[in-house]
Amino acid sequence: MTEQLESVDVVDDSQERSPSNATNLAAGVILVVVGILLLVGRIFGISLGRFLWPFYIIVPGVLLFVFALTARDSGEGLAIAGSIVSMVGLVLLYQNTTDHWQSWAYAWALVAPTSIGLGQMVYGSLKGREHVVKSGLGLTRVGGIIFVVAAVFFELVIGISGFGYIGWPVLLIGAGVLLLLRNLLSGRSQE
């Protein structure tokens, strides 16, 4: 009887350690990858600091998300926080790499609500919570639509990045065609 109780304690103890093992594994992989990048940069004389600083934001966000998967009560909230921080880092990585800082005019939609929805979808899928996945899917859709509409408006209509002002000519042509059609159709109805 005593042996059975001891074996149960061992099983329970190993189950409690497994979530921290996942966190340690993720942290270890991230440290190794960053270390390899820094070593390669040092050997070949490449200044990686310009490109690596967004990882100071991405890595804590990913670690927070991984920690959320191991948390018992506050997991969904931590997953949302981790996905927001990670998305901010990814947007900064894109902008830093491309020097396209003007995209903040619409990239905020990727941070909220899109990243919140993505965090909920991943967390809900891994934890088997279908209602969380559905909520996340809705937020991701809304954020994606806001991002695309705002990107089209700011890039094509206003031209904040200097890609050209093709939006205004297209809008003027469209408005002109509508007025012409309206004039033609109203002239026929009077006859």
Write the burial class of residue 94 (CB in 10 Å: 0-12 exposed, 13-18 middle, 19+ buried): middle
- Whole-model pTM: value is 0.67
Give the pLDDT confidence of 30-61 residue by residue, as tens digits. 788 878 878 888 888 877 777 778 989 999 99
Cβ count near 168 (within 10 Å): 13
Give the pLDDT confidence of 126-172 residue by residue, as tens digits. 999 999 999 999 999 999 999 999 998 888 878 888 765 666 677 77
Q: Domain-by-domain residue ranges, the chain? A: 2-165, 166-191
Give every CB contact of residue 47 below 8 A, 6+ residues apart in sequence. 41
Residue 136 is predicted with a pLDDT of 96
Q: 121 falls in which pLDDT band (50, 70, 90)?
A: very high
